[in-house]
């Protein structure tokens, strides 16, 4: 049931605060992450993590690659499942092969898991659906506990995947001694704050509703961000494409001047992710360059940005990961409202299925 929401996607955006609490439940110790479901020896002898997925799950995996290298100090590589399965990848035994999938049934991702098993790699599945094919096949599983996701456009599944990855980065950090107990404890208190930071406020939703009017027509959208905000930009662009059918691309903010900025004009909308706590000055100067070339800018940030045509303020927070989750909600609502204004069926976008179980 939609419980009074216009679409399941809207309901699922609003549910995120509750489902993230479920994701965290029982997993946050005082200064360690508890994954009872993992064998204590899973990371023994592991020098590399390979993450493999499709679509939104791939964006969550890309986010994980930043967290794993930054906090766990472990080499991490990233694979799009449909590509990986048809090249001739080198798989070494010191690699943990991780598949990420909401459904646990995506054909390409499942196939890569079979390849990793055949190569005798240790495998881990991060899935939402218990007893799915990937859960049954992998050596170990972490369930994301997002509950049933009905909207074709994934929202709460992504939020829970990123939360699991943040926890996993700390779990590995403890085993690799790359963060001390105090550092892990301070991450854990930040993790406890996530549910309140992804709560949708009426004021925020109303602002985005009003603002969405400006973004119905134009040449297209750039979603830009740096570091872990780059996969979030990719995810924002994918959300918009899927349900509004408008052309949108996610880009690393620093790449603009290597070609894409040639497209800048007032009909080119830039959605700029400007976290205060990660590379703020660098990202800001990339946005200024786009503004100087007349792109219409919508900035998402904690503090006002004078070069922006529109500004969406997130609440003040002291860490970039909290800004990440706040911005994630903004991007989801923006796509939702643009799609609704365009009269689209948000939950059943054309040409798409919830689970891609054939190639």
Q: Is-catalytic flag, 50?
A: no
Interface map 326-345 toward ligand M6R (x if CB under 6 A): --------------------
**Beta bridge partner(s), residue 283:** none
Least gap, CB of 53 to ligand M6R (angstroms): 6
Residue choice 101, 283, 296, 332 for contact with ligand M6R (CB under 6 A): 101
* Closer residue to ligand M6R, CB minimum distance, 17 or 160: 160
Please identify, among the stretches 33-41, 49-57, 248-256, 338-346, the one whose residues bind ligand M6R according to the rule CB under 6 A: 49-57
**Beta bridge partner(s), residue 300:** 273, 312
* Closer residue to ligand M6R, CB minimum distance, 103 or 270: 103
Contacts of 150 (CB under 8 A, 6+ apart): 8, 12, 347, 354
Distances in Å between the Cα of 82 and the Cα atoms of 25, 107, 191, 221, 248 are: 33, 9, 32, 26, 22
Residue choice 38, 78, 190, 356 for contact with ligand M6R (CB under 6 A): 356
Per the CB < 8 A criterion, the answer to whether 184 and 170 are in contact is yes
Least gap, CB of 49 to ligand M6R (angstroms): 18
**Mutual orientation of helices 181-197 and 320-341 as an angle, nearest 10°?**
20
Residue choice 126, 152, 261, 278 for contact with ligand M6R (CB under 6 A): 152
Task: Please tell me the distance from the alpha carbon of residue 30 to that of residue 186, in angstroms, as a whole number.
Answer: 9
Question: What three-state secondary structure class fits 225?
Answer: strand
Binding of residue 102 to ligand M6R (CB under 6 A): yes
Phi-psi region at 227: left, alpha or beta (left = phi > 0; alpha = psi -120 to 50): left
Q: Select from 275, 295, 266, 268 the least CA-distant residue to 225.
A: 275
Convert 33-80 into a string of H (helix), E (strand) and C (coil): ECCCCCCCCCCCCCCEEEEEECHHHHHHHHHHHHHHHHHHCCEEEEEE
Binding of residue 63 to ligand M6R (CB under 6 A): no
* Closer residue to ligand M6R, CB minimum distance, 154 or 163: 154
**Beta bridge partner(s), residue 48:** 75, 95
Q: How far out from the chain centre does Cα 203 lie?
A: 24
Residue choice 31, 302, 344, 355 for contact with ligand M6R (CB under 6 A): 355
Using CB under 6 A as the binding rule, the residues of this chain from 213 to 272 that contact ligand M6R are 242
* Closer residue to ligand M6R, CB minimum distance, 56 or 295: 56
Residue choice 16, 17, 57, 283 for contact with ligand M6R (CB under 6 A): 57
* Closer residue to ligand M6R, CB minimum distance, 132 or 169: 132
Binding of residue 154 to ligand M6R (CB under 6 A): yes
Binding site for ligand M6R (CB under 6 A): 54-57, 101-103, 106, 109, 152-154, 242, 352, 355-356
Active site residues: 354
């Amino acid at each position: 049931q939609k419980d009074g929401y216009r679409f399941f996607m809207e309901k699922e955006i609003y549910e995120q605060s509750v489902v993230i609490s479920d994701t965290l439940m029982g997993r946050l110790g005082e200064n360690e992450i508890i994954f009872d479901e993992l064998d204590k020896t899973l990371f023994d002898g592991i020098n590399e993590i390979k993450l493999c997925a499709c679509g939104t799950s791939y964006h969550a995996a890309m986010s994980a690659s930043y967290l794993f290298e930054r906090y766990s100090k472990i080499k991490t590589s990233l694979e799009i499942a449909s590509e990986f399965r048809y090249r001739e990848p080198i798989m070494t035994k010191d690699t943990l092969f991780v598949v990420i999938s909401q459904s646990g049934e995506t054909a390409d991702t499942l196939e890569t898991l079979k390849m990793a098993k055949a190569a005798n790699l240790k495998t881990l599945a991060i899935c939402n659906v218990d007893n799915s094919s990937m859960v049954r096949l992998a050596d170990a599983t972490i369930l994301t506990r997002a509950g049933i996701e009905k909207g074709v456009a994934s929202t709460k599944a992504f939020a829970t995947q990123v939360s699991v990855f943040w926890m996993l980065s700390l779990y590995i950090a403890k085993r690799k001694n790359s963060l001390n107990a105090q550092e892990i404890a301070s991450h854990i208190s930040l993790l406890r704050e996530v549910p309140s930071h992804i709560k949708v406020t009426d004021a925020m939703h109303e602002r985005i509703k009003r603002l969405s009017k400006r973004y119905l027509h134009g040449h297209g959208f750039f979603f830009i961000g740096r570091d872990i905000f780059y996969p979030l930009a990719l995810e924002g662009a994918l959300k918009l494409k899927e349900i509004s059918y408008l052309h949108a691309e996610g880009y690393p903010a620093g790449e603009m001047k290597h070609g894409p900025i040639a497209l800048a004009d007032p009909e080119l909308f830039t959605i700029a992710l400007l976290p205060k706590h990660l590379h703020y000055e660098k990202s800001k100067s990339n946005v200024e360059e786009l503004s100087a070339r007349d792109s219409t800018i919508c900035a998402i940030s904690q503090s006002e940005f004078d070069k922006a045509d529109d500004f969406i303020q997130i609440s003040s927070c002291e860490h970039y990961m909290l800004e990440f989750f706040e911005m994630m909600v903004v991007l989801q609502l923006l796509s939702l409202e643009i799609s609704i204004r365009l009269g689209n069926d948000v939950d059943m976008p054309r040409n798409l299925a919830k689970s891609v179980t054939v190639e």
